[in-house]
Every structure is written in C-alpha cells, then in structure tokens.
Amino acid sequence: MTPLAARLAARFWPGPLTLVLEAAPGLAPEITAGAGTVAVRVPGSEVARELSRLAGGPLISTSANLSGGPPPARAEALDPALRARLDLVLDAGPTPGGLASTLADVTGAAPRQVRAGAVPWAEILAAAGG
C-alpha cells in the first residue's frame, strides 16, 4: 500500500471506499482481470468483517449487483442472472442501502475518481492532501 492509499484507508475504513491498488506480484489473473491492479475495501458490515476474520484473511467477492444495476437490499432481491453464477449467498438480513462505495484509483501520485459513491469526492481529496 502506498502512503496515499494508507492515508485514505486510515480515514475511511471500515466503510464505503474501494481503493484500486497495484496488484502484488503473482496475484492470480482471475483476481486482477489481467489489469495489474486490484480493488480492495474493508466493508462497514460487521458480518462481512467477521467472515473474513474467520476465513483467516481477505475474501474475494463480487458486488451483490451486476455492473450498473441497483444494489439489492435483501438476498431475495439479487438479480437472477447473478444468483445463477454464485455458489453461495450468505443472508445476514437487509442491508442499510444507500449509495455504492466510492471507487478511487490510487496507483498514481493523486487519487483518480473511478466511480462516485457514498464518500464525497471532496472528502477523498481533502484526506489525500497529506
């Protein structure tokens, strides 16, 4: 993690900020989609963090919605096309809803907004200032 990424993580994690980082050497191409980067987040959900802790490390997962689609607030609202591709759905009850996570590319000297979301971009820029 770069100093920029560490500052943003310290300020906004756990929470709705996803950081795009340079992938570690040897990270499977299925994780990086061949891009050489990886998007990481520490979710606000205590259930998700506990599941990661019990698994002994980071979890690799997709979002609960197809790209561009609305995030479901309940497990039964998952898009059938997405559900068909999943081995397991952990239903921990309804989500709080709201905007998706803000997606920030921090592979350069300054953050670059990839997707607007729950954390206002002005707050990202202020925290990145150093």
> Is 70 within a domain?
no
> Is 68 within a domain?
no
> Is 91 within a domain?
yes
Q: Are 109 and 4 in contact (CB under 8 A)?
A: yes
Task: Provide the pLDDT confidence category of residue 90 given band limits of 50, 70 and 90.
Answer: confident
Q: Summarize the confidence of residues 16-22 as an average pLDDT.
A: 95
> Is 71 within a domain?
no
**Residue among 111, 64, 108, 116 at smallest CA distance from 90:** 64
> Is 49 within a domain?
yes
Task: Provide the pLDDT confidence category of residue 79 given band limits of 50, 70 and 90.
Answer: confident
> Is 80 within a domain?
yes
pLDDT of residue 65: 78
pTM: 0.86
Can you give the residue range of the structural domain that contains 84? Answer: 3-61+76-128
Among 6-15, 17-26, 58-67, 80-89, which stretch is predicted with the lowest mean pLDDT? Answer: 58-67
> Is 44 within a domain?
yes
What does pLDDT average to over the chain?
A: 90
* Statement: residue 101 has pLDDT above 80: yes
pLDDT of residue 130: 58
When divided into structural domains, the chain yields a total of 1
The burial class, CB within 10 Å (0-12 / 13-18 / 19+), for 13 is middle
* Statement: residue 67 has pLDDT above 80: no
> Is 33 within a domain?
yes
Q: Summarize the confidence of residues 24-49 as an average pLDDT.
A: 89
Q: Read off the CATH number of the domain in which 26 is found.
A: 3.90.870.10
Q: For residues 71 and 107, give the distance between their C-alpha atoms in angstroms, rounded to a whole number.
A: 27
pLDDT of residue 96: 79
